[in-house]
Amino acid sequence: MFRRRSDDAAASATVLEKQDETTQARDPQAKKGRPTPKRSEAEANRRTRVTVPKDRKEAARQGRERMRVEREKQRQALMNGDERHLPARDKGPVRKFARDYVDSRWSLAEFFLPAAVVILVLSIVKVPALQLLSTLLFLLFFVFVILDFVRLGLGLRKQLAERFAGQNTRGAVAYGIMRTLQMRRLRLPKPQVRRGEKP
């Protein structure tokens, strides 16, 4: 009886020694490659790290609960710009710079939807002059939006090449242009810079 306990203690001591050796293998001055979690997050992770239940219904319920928590974290991150919980398409300094670059400028494209509604209303009215005017307005607005896209895309590409030389910036220009199509107050993640500020 006492023999088994001492054997267990010896086994746990050897496991702890091995863990100490593996943790000491890393240079104390080297970065660990990830940010240190907050105390509340570490405690929450410890609580959620439970064994998978044998009951399939309980396992499915726990899976749904984890997904709900993750979605809530992503939603909060989209509202306040927390990089840790953003979706993969919005993560990273390149995407953040593209967002800030777009959000710091006025662009015609963000008024495309309201202008399209006004033009649509004018085209429905049974007055030929207003219908012709709506068609011309739509064509003009469309041309100006395309030119605005070109201007913004070239400027963003140049800034990305300067700031992130040698890094992968693939898709960042298209990401920024797609963001301009949304009205500023509806953009997610929420804008973190004011208009006129340097990103």
Across 64-84, average pLDDT? 86
Indicate the pTM of the whole model. Answer: 0.65
CA-closest candidate to residue 159, choices 78, 73, 101? 101
Tokens of 23: 């943790």
Residue range 81-123, pLDDT digits in tens: 778 888 889 999 999 999 999 999 999 999 988 898 988 898 8
Residue range 114-158, pLDDT digits in tens: 898 988 898 888 889 988 999 999 999 999 999 999 999 999 999
Tokens of 158: 């140049």
Tokens of 192: 């973190």
Confidence of residue 9 (pLDDT cuts 50, 70, 90): very low
